[in-house]
Structure 1
Amino acid sequence: MAWWEGFDEIRLLIAADTAETGNDVGQLLSLRHPKSGNSMCCLLVNGVLQELNWFKQSYTSWFLGDYVAEDGGLYSATPVDPVFILLPIFEEARMKKGDDPGKFRLVDEIIFVEGYPRYQKLLSIAENCMQAVCEIKVGVSQGSQFSSRKAKGGSK
């Protein structure tokens, strides 16, 4: 039996090599596009977030060993800075109204996005991103609030 037998469709994916530090087990995540708000697909491998894009040209095929992928389409996964993906989530989470600077919130609350449960997989990444673009308030529990000044590269 050949490796491709038993599969309905075979797809080709080109992605960054993250094998140096991890186990190469990836997870597909449906996240909200930071600009359009539409659903987008990302690949999370060894703590590296990669954006998935589908490319297809007419009259192309791929030879994969003894198999021919006739439609010639290909997925490309490119590393993306998670700050850009999470920035709108941080902005919404502060609940700013008018001149009010907004609220400090727990990271668990911030990373909860209605209709997108896979954001929970980015919890550890989100905590690191918050250092760059959020004010951190340490108390009994650590609260965070998006900071326009920090996001624009102002003094910390």
Structure 2
Amino acid sequence: MFAPEPVRSAAFADLRAGTAHDRAIDVSATGAAFAPDGRRLAVAGRNGEVLLLDAGGIAVRAAVTAHDGPAGPVSWSADGRMFVVGGSDGRVTVWDGRTGEPLGALAPAAPGVRTYPVFRPDGHTVMVVSTDGAVHTWDARPSEWVARACRIAASGC
């Protein structure tokens, strides 16, 4: 089975200026995706790291280890406000698409089960497929998280 070497640098091109350059990154990349507007790049790493770069390859914030084991794939919401990252630890992490701050995590699968999240076209529903054969959907809007927590706590907030 072929296993490609992880990427530790990325090439960035400025099409207006007609220039390109390589930029070292502090992550052994296993997956990456550009925001819908093309201004940010979310990178998932072999050691569970998640890094957000601007389009020039400069880190928006330092990499955060968010998964136990390899992270990825990455999927962005249609408006670029959030992105989600799957992992081999049964979890999906949710990130602020502008600052790269982690917003939370959920565990739709057991540890050791790989998750593959993707934002649906509505921009707030995330579908997660996992290697155990399960398919989950959830609403990624923070207001929905609060409402669900209130329902679980039976407090009505």
TM bucket normalised to smaller: 0.3 to 0.5
Greater fraction helix: 1
Name the larger-Rg structure: 1
Structure with the larger RCO, 1 or 2 (CA within 8 Å, 6+ apart)? 1
Greater fraction strand: 2
